[in-house]
Structure 1
């Protein structure tokens, strides 16, 4: 038995991100870890949009991720450490678009154990070795090499353990082609473990240790170990090593040690340099609070390098090292920009910065400049005695900067993320919706949102235009086969046809060769440069020189259905006969001599596109009024012979044959599907055997209450099918798997593909008398998200049983509330202290709120209209109260009138949990959504004192 869980949406949070040339092409990609899932992302250099190339479930929790490239190689590999107790090397194969497992080495037990390696992973910059480390004690080094056939090999593990050691971070040092060396931040707890007084714990030193892999002796030695700042939390690799082509060095080597409030440059037997981390100058900032670096990235350019370090506030700092060969002259730091707090930062050589967040959305920024010519203050280690190391135990004088809007970066794309979800409800509150919505309170801090999630593909409308009448069909067509974009839009009405030309403007044209006095049944660009129009009384073959060859139906008959491709045309007459035409090598449309009598009125026809390199497609699907679908041969040796038949539960309304890729059926070749839409709103999908024409593997799905219309379209360069009923559905291939998803859009009566210069891969549809041109920007996201911004982290929300509003409580610790902030600022102004209004007025959703001392809370109660998607009312709590619970309660003493009761606490501390007072705030509901309030106070020392507060 195999068990597998499937979620509505894959994980959206990113726990780690790495960058590299994983496909072997010149373009860089990003591999992200989403807990139990690996995804390869590829930013488009032209548009700046990030697309998912492949997503793969790993069936385990990914603990660490690193990229490496073998010396002299042209592509990067990914190393994954997980809770399975194994290290796995993956290679991305662009031909099959999949991750291929190159090596898998087992070294420990499964589970995220503290002494089983997997928590930290570091690769040698030259791709010669990798170190994987546990939280405690265990460190293993693997040698990476090539065998005689140039295939990647991995050695047996070499131990670099240290007993009674807590590891905080490891990285690979850049030492050129010398023996691979790894640096670790670790603490020895031997004495602390044996000292019950706690004195040894307070005096424990944090050590920066170098571990060298001796490639000659094939073992790891502890080369160097020195105490460093006890608040160090992160190491950053500094470029180094001798350049292969000269005697010059790439950099000084060593590490940047990120500590609380400052950064230290350290290397073995080299002078230390220390610079302070600049802080925001804000009047409400807690001066006792330290500042730490949470994410870092190093970027090498030709002959230079720099670092971007990010603080827990989201501020980016550019760090540069002034050096002469291996001799460091100065370490400099300056404010760069402010972006959301990241779990990983990735710089691409194409000029992009990818910010992967553990909480909230992920962002792709483009570098506009590198901050070299701005007026930001720069702080250098040479500005301080002994390079800032005169007394390492004393803090450096604090450095300050003024935060500002983005200057060096510009936002180009945003990937939505729901993480973390604090509360969620499934309700159907939107009007005219046949499926419920998911409402999720998610996010952290001032970037929090309440999101409405609807199942379906998001549609981006480009053009919406009213038409003079109500058309029943629409097509687009090119003039020549090699044209890149469409030239005409053809609209069919009950009594005529309208042709519009596509250019700088869309306008009506007359001299197209199309018959405008009759409705149109089908339009096709046929052959190399001809057009075809099928109308009830005949077929018009419009040649490139505007000459028209016309075939007319026999007297007393009309065409009731038609299907076309670039070389074939089949029409069904009102007499239940099929007439088949095929284009010869001279571009003439020739009728097959015999006609096929079906014995029942034909309701729908379909033929597939002509396969590349072939003269024709061999099969025709015919749906008849007798509730059958027949597969008819178009092969020259058996033309119009019935091959197979399928009975239906209702008369067919539309048929569409399409060749699509579905890895669930065939991973290497396209599968031919016959899609049959019935008049009762049911869709049948069956597989057509390309050899014998038999129908197999039939599946059904109910799409809506209206008869289904099927249209073959192109979606992101792959064939797809648009199914139109009371809802519009799209059948498409994404990451080699077939999907069938509704569109979140107006109901469409008919649709077709649309390609123009401003909308190369769009769709055009009719909704009543409105013509709509639209596109589908993301196929990978099946839940459309609409967001309502919040002020603080959401805690819980409830619904009113009658008025349909949501009542949400939100709150953040170590943040001043709105009233307290204004009061404090006013007090500072009255004291005559200078306040920079530009800094105070920075938008919290971008810069966050200034941090306050422990026990300080900002909290609010919010009333939300989910139908309109907006906030109706917000009540900010004062007196340092924070809301923790909420309920709608009927009071018997007030004739069971409903009231909103919010549980709050004043001056709350989280560890240990305590507060000075607790309140039950009781609100009555009003028509204008104001919240008249009573508070019932609960004093901890006195118990319930029974007093009502107005």
Structure 2
């Protein structure tokens, strides 16, 4: 079953962003970003440095964010979906530097509930209506207009509910000034709910549904519905109304599909990293579009950080080809925003958020493509493979620091002040595997700071030096081809590494003494303090384990002192610290 069918559809991005002209009266663009309960207005200056114009605490969880502009207007409004059970429309007041609340309409209970709208937002590209949807069942459409005083008005909610239906994504369809249409990826689980065998759940099929808003009758109806790939997880609006062929891009696992009512599907396979296992699917996690008078293109990013440029060959509303080209690789984002000034704002899912400048738009003929070069085999369409490279089309010019994700936090008074400090462990890095243990060690007992971070893996040990930067080193004296059971300062100026095959004693002058386990026995448990080490060896062949005790002598050597056979294997082992003065 595709991962996008089983993924948690209630998961909210930790960072969302939209870019548009919010202040009006000038040609600069701003970025509105949602960070949990904060709503920030950012603006790049002439040097490409991001300036925070306004930050607002909404005292709630922002679940979705969008913007729209009424026809003929000079600025955009912000639509916020949250856990308040309300749809809120904000207008940025540049004179007062505040967000003015234009409308706040209640439609349901507060809280992030699966059947209360707020998880998804979709805007009619002409700014005439907005759809706000829940993860399940409920969808509401509001008509947006102006009164005689040119003030924004909002209608009563129009229902587009469908029970026993999960929603994965919604988008506004650009159909010019015809009745507004909204697209949704849906899954009907009514049969699966009644089938205890699970067969109906396995056969459940996602559909792409078009909802039409009749502006004359103020009514929403299901206009069109068609089955779609079960790996579908995201919709992207395609320009229409004279600017393009209309319709939507359906981002699915391993595929991008162009769909529109009455139009045959046009499908292309995502390019794949050459070293990615064949059974591993690729999902699109964020998308943005750039449109000019004569052209438009999309940037889609996969869960591995690879960004692809997607273009459509079309004529008179008929799409003849969908092209996907490898563009660049940047940290995985929860939102991307292309600005008309030639910037790309990337809201990173993990780590700092970045502002990139376009150096090129991926028009080089040597860039990999996966549409015109597809090959057909018995297993279906085969993708083009590529190797990630350094940035070629983008250059990073600024960043917004972020602590995401915070994975641990401690309140400790390390500076011995009147109040304790808050310390956080955050970020995510490219470790070569899942670590089993981590140590920090000093080189000398009198050192103020630790010198190394030592990370043990299932079949290796990684040693990182601590200085102005943290870097991997290979000349530390530690054995890096084996996992480590213990790492510590031993004596006053030596380091010790205990691994399954022995004990490695690294002297201050770099000389290494090695004690090896007898026969084919291995070390399974270890206890130690600054002057003593005790290890437990494995048993086997009808014999129990063995305990061996070591001490640091007056010359600083780690010497074997005593050993003792055990009647069984040792399950755990420890030794107390040496009291001061002993």
The answer to whether TM tops 0.5 is yes
Q: In the alignment, is the contact (CA less than 8 A) between 1:936 and 1:947 conserved in 2?
A: no
1:349 corresponds to:
340
2:263 corresponds to:
270
2:50 corresponds to:
50
Task: Give the 3 Å change call, closer, same or farther, for CA 433–938 of structure 1 in structure 2.
Answer: farther
Q: In the alignment, is the contact (CA less than 8 A) between 1:902 and 1:922 conserved in 2?
A: no
Write the distance in 1 (CA, Å) between the matches of 2:105 and 2:479: 55
Deviation by residue 1:74-113 (Cα, 9 ceiling, x = unmatched): 1011100111111100111111111111100100101100
Deviation by residue 1:648-695 (Cα, 9 ceiling, x = unmatched): xxxxxxxxxxxxxxxxxxxxxxxxxxxxxxxxxxxxxxxxxxxxxxxx
Task: State the shift of 1:875 in Å.
Answer: 7.0
For residues 933-944 of structure 1, the aligned pairs below 5 Å read: none
Q: In the alignment, is the contact (CA less than 8 A) between 2:18 and 2:31 conserved in 1?
A: yes
Write the distance in 2 (CA, Å) between the matches of 1:226 and 1:185: 10
Write the distance in 1 (CA, Å) between the matches of 2:129 and 2:150: 16
**Tell me, what secondary structure is at the counterpart of 1:65?**
strand
Write the distance in 2 (CA, Å) between the matches of 1:808 and 1:276: 43
Deviation by residue 1:602-655 (Cα, 9 ceiling, x = unmatched): xxxxxxxxxxxxxxxxxxxxxxxxxxxxxxxxxxxxxxxxxxxxxxxxxxxxxx
2:507 corresponds to:
none
For residues 758-837 of structure 1, the aligned pairs below 5 Å read: 804-805=449-450
2:398 corresponds to:
413
Task: State the shift of 1:139 in Å.
Answer: 0.5
Aligned equivalent of 2:427, options 443, 450, 460: 443
Deviation by residue 1:676-725 (Cα, 9 ceiling, x = unmatched): xxxxxxxxxxxxxxxxxxxxxxxxxxxxxxxxxxxxxxxxxxxxxxxxxx
Extract unaligned runs of 5+ from structure 2.
1-12, 501-522, 546-567, 574-582
1:197 corresponds to:
197
Deviation by residue 1:239-267 (Cα, 9 ceiling, x = unmatched): 111xxxxxxx2111111111111111111
**Tell me, what secondary structure is at the counterpart of 1:200?**
helix
1:319 aligns with 2:310: yes
Task: Give the 3 Å change call, closer, same or farther, for CA 923–792 of structure 1 in structure 2.
Answer: farther
Deviation by residue 1:93-138 (Cα, 9 ceiling, x = unmatched): 1111111111001001011000000101111111000001100111
Task: Give the 3 Å change call, closer, same or farther, for CA 231–349 of structure 1 in structure 2.
Answer: same
1:257 aligns with 2:250: yes
1:109 corresponds to:
109
Write the distance in 1 (CA, Å) between the matches of 2:536 and 2:126: 66
1:946 aligns with 2:573: no
Q: In the alignment, is the contact (CA less than 8 A) between 1:889 and 1:901 conserved in 2?
A: no
Write the distance in 2 (CA, Å) between the matches of 1:154 and 1:221: 19
Write the distance in 2 (CA, Å) between the matches of 1:135 and 1:107: 15
Write the distance in 1 (CA, Å) between the matches of 2:397 and 2:425: 26
1:152 aligns with 2:152: yes
Write the distance in 2 (CA, Å) between the matches of 1:43 and 1:414: 11
Q: In the alignment, is the contact (CA less than 8 A) between 1:422 and 1:794 conserved in 2?
A: no
TM-score by length of 1: 0.48
Write the distance in 2 (CA, Å) between the matches of 1:933 and 1:354: 55
**Tell me, what secondary structure is at the counterpart of 2:381?**
coil
Task: State the shift of 1:428 in Å.
Answer: 7.2
**Tell me, what secondary structure is at the counterpart of 2:201?**
helix
Deviation by residue 1:486-535 (Cα, 9 ceiling, x = unmatched): xxxxxxxxxxxxxxxxxxxxxxxxxxxxxxxxxxxxxxxxxxxxxxxxxx
Task: State the shift of 1:373 in Å.
Answer: 2.1
Q: In the alignment, is the contact (CA less than 8 A) between 2:287 and 2:336 conserved in 1?
A: yes
Task: Give the 3 Å change call, closer, same or farther, for CA 199–416 of structure 1 in structure 2.
Answer: same
2:549 corresponds to:
none
Write the distance in 2 (CA, Å) between the matches of 1:264 and 1:299: 19
For residues 385-534 of structure 1, the aligned pairs below 5 Å read: 395-425=380-410, 439-446=423-430
What CA RMSD, in Å, does the superposition of the two structures yield over aligned residues?
Answer: 4.0
Write the distance in 2 (CA, Å) between the matches of 1:82 and 1:277: 33
Task: State the shift of 1:792 in Å.
Answer: 6.7
Deviation by residue 1:175-194 (Cα, 9 ceiling, x = unmatched): 11111111000100000011
2:292 corresponds to:
301
Q: In the alignment, is the contact (CA less than 8 A) between 1:422 and 1:442 conserved in 2?
A: yes
Between 1:260-269 and 1:433-442, the stretch displaced more is 433-442
Task: State the shift of 1:396 in Å.
Answer: 1.7
Write the distance in 2 (CA, Å) between the matches of 1:937 and 1:73: 78
Deviation by residue 1:29-78 (Cα, 9 ceiling, x = unmatched): 1111110100011112x311111111110000000000111111110111
Task: Give the 3 Å change call, closer, same or farther, for CA 925–40 of structure 1 in structure 2.
Answer: farther
Task: State the shift of 1:861 in Å.
Answer: 5.9
Deviation by residue 1:550-583 (Cα, 9 ceiling, x = unmatched): xxxxxxxxxxxxxxxxxxxxxxxxxxxxxxxxxx
2:35 corresponds to:
34
Write the distance in 1 (CA, Å) between the matches of 2:499 and 2:88: 51
1:371 aligns with 2:362: yes
1:334 aligns with 2:325: yes
Write the distance in 2 (CA, Å) between the matches of 1:121 and 1:288: 33
Q: In the alignment, is the contact (CA less than 8 A) between 1:865 and 1:871 conserved in 2?
A: no
Q: In the alignment, is the contact (CA less than 8 A) between 2:454 and 2:487 conserved in 1?
A: no
Task: Give the 3 Å change call, closer, same or farther, for CA 57–110 of structure 1 in structure 2.
Answer: same
Deviation by residue 1:731-753 (Cα, 9 ceiling, x = unmatched): xxxxxxxxxxxxxxxxxxxxxxx
Q: In the alignment, is the contact (CA less than 8 A) between 2:374 and 2:382 conserved in 1?
A: no
1:129 aligns with 2:124: no
**Tell me, what secondary structure is at the counterpart of 1:211?**
strand
Write the distance in 2 (CA, Å) between the matches of 1:792 and 1:351: 38
Write the distance in 2 (CA, Å) between the matches of 1:902 and 1:434: 42
1:223 corresponds to:
223
Write the distance in 2 (CA, Å) between the matches of 1:138 and 1:396: 37
Deviation by residue 1:426-479 (Cα, 9 ceiling, x = unmatched): 66779x999987654321232xxxxxxxxxxxxxxxxxxxxxxxxxxxxxxxxx
Task: Give the 3 Å change call, closer, same or farther, for CA 211–882 of structure 1 in structure 2.
Answer: farther
Q: In the alignment, is the contact (CA less than 8 A) between 2:271 and 2:386 conserved in 1?
A: yes
TM-score by length of 2: 0.77
**Tell me, what secondary structure is at the counterpart of 2:72?**
coil
**Tell me, what secondary structure is at the counterpart of 2:246?**
coil
Write the distance in 1 (CA, Å) between the matches of 2:460 and 2:156: 55
1:310 corresponds to:
301
Write the distance in 2 (CA, Å) between the matches of 1:443 and 1:172: 35
**Tell me, what secondary structure is at the counterpart of 2:333?**
coil
Write the distance in 2 (CA, Å) between the matches of 1:794 and 1:58: 39
Task: State the shift of 1:865 in Å.
Answer: 4.4
Task: State the shift of 1:401 in Å.
Answer: 1.4
Task: Give the 3 Å change call, closer, same or farther, for CA 59–947 of structure 1 in structure 2.
Answer: closer
Task: Give the 3 Å change call, closer, same or farther, for CA 398–435 of structure 1 in structure 2.
Answer: same
Deviation by residue 1:574-599 (Cα, 9 ceiling, x = unmatched): xxxxxxxxxxxxxxxxxxxxxxxxxx
Extract unaligned runs of 5+ from structure 1.
1-12, 242-248, 447-789, 812-816, 818-856, 904-918
How many residue pairs match? The answer is 505
Deviation by residue 1:312-355 (Cα, 9 ceiling, x = unmatched): 11111111000002011110111011111000010000001111
Task: State the shift of 1:198 in Å.
Answer: 0.7
Q: In the alignment, is the contact (CA less than 8 A) between 1:29 and 1:42 conserved in 2?
A: yes
Task: Give the 3 Å change call, closer, same or farther, for CA 381–947 of structure 1 in structure 2.
Answer: same
Task: Give the 3 Å change call, closer, same or farther, for CA 920–217 of structure 1 in structure 2.
Answer: farther
Write the distance in 2 (CA, Å) between the matches of 1:444 and 1:309: 22
Task: Give the 3 Å change call, closer, same or farther, for CA 924–184 of structure 1 in structure 2.
Answer: same
1:361 aligns with 2:380: no
1:466 corresponds to:
none
1:83 corresponds to:
83
